[in-house]
Amino acid sequence: MTDKKSNAMWGGRFAAGPDAIMEAINASIDFDKRLASQDIAGSRAHAAMLAKQGILTDTDAEAIREGLLTVLSEIERGEFTFSTALEDIHMNVESRLKEIIGEAAGRLHTARSRNDQVATDFKLWVRDQIDAAISGLEALIRALIAQAEKGADWVMPGFTHLQTAQPVTWGHHMMAYVEMFGRDMSRFNDARVRMNESPLGSAALAGTGFPIDRHMTAEALGFDRPTANSLDAVADRDFALEFLSSASICAMHLSRFAEELVIWSSAQFRFVALSDRFSTGSSIMPQKKNPDAAELIRAKIGRIFGANVALMTVMKGLPLAYSKDMQEDKEQVFDAADNLMLALAAMTGMVSDMTANVDNLRAAAASGFSTATDLADWLVREAGLPFRDAHHVTGALVAMAEKKGVDLPDLSLDEMKSVNEAITEGVYDVLTVENSVASRTSYGGTAPAQVRAQIARWKEVLG
């Protein structure tokens, strides 16, 4: 079967159009139609530049400008008919533009190629997603800061190996994730700076002989500058890989927090209660309240990781410049971006709505010999023991308490002295969890004063 539109698109090189299988494998319109607004923005900037340079008449440029706005309006209203035979968003837009304004539409593609066109469109789209991710992270950070402010003094257990280690504050734990997600914001910002160069005007791979002004189109599209090498410009997908890499690290942080929320909301812990908005019930067990939003965040992360690996695999063996393999650059990026934004929004909602069970947090913090390190530190400071000796004495006291079925503060002074005569009544001052966290005043420590200082710093950063 001959497809005249496709044949016309490819030019006189081919006598016949593609068969159905080739059309199916070659077409990308089912997914790259998401680039419509970016494609039209790039075309408008290109047409304006061509007119300014005298390559296009003002009359044709105005017709193109108005026609492209009509096409965009049709797409936004859902009235545009996308054609698989036209392969991609670029040819769908150009074909419709020709129907609207006639032959002038064919002059729009002067001094550019679909190679630099798609690189420009995709960069614009990824840049928008980076901006959205940064906004989403800022909202999540603000929700975490609000939780930290409420619970700067609340004591909870800090864990290593998921076993009670030392008491910390709720605020300190919340601010740990602020730091993680703050680094994610920084990574997205860094990626945005690096990728903000315009490929438009690189044409197929070698640039063009037309007297174009690439700085003009770069500025019109919000880029800092045009790319410096036309071969690299059309072959580069580093910007998408950096987005996926940053998204993967951010997703990993989201998954870690989601895992904690699953554990904390369980009947065995009861550290937090998640709101009904982010929980579900069981079809058979009426008592259940499942942390499904957290579990789904934890699971969706695999799709983001997979997208990163998939695009790396696509790009790893490609010679310069453009190869059709690069058509496989978009679907996984689109999917990763969608799932990252959904996960960020869900996590922000859960953090904003969750309620800490302060009594359970405090009780858990006081169990498991969590102030053993405080006891060892006291032996160093007050009794003058070398730390390794203090560590040994403390271990012996923990063993004694464990054998008696009590915690360290429940041992009598005589029992403690039986292990080391240097221990005095003052040791009990460091064995409460409140005193333990209050003593951790080193910069970045868990003491409430330090937590509030970090909250103030982040509020200043966010503005």
Q: Does residue 28 have an active-site annotation?
A: no
Q: Which of 135, 275, 282, 323 is catalytic?
A: 282
CA dist 188 and 65 (Å) reads 33
Q: Which of 161, 283, 412, 442 is catalytic?
A: 161
- Per the CB < 8 A criterion, the answer to whether 223 and 197 are in contact is yes
- Per the CB < 8 A criterion, the answer to whether 238 and 209 are in contact is no
Encoded tokens for 193: 């700076």
Residue type, 260: E
What is the residue whose two structure tokens read 């390794």?
Answer: 388
Strand partners, 166: 158
Count CA atoms closer than 13 A to 297's CA, side-chain side: 30
- Per the CB < 8 A criterion, the answer to whether 453 and 459 are in contact is no
Residue type, 445: G
CA dist 203 and 226 (Å) reads 13
Q: Does residue 161 have an active-site annotation?
A: yes
Strand partners, 167: 157
Active site residues: 161, 282
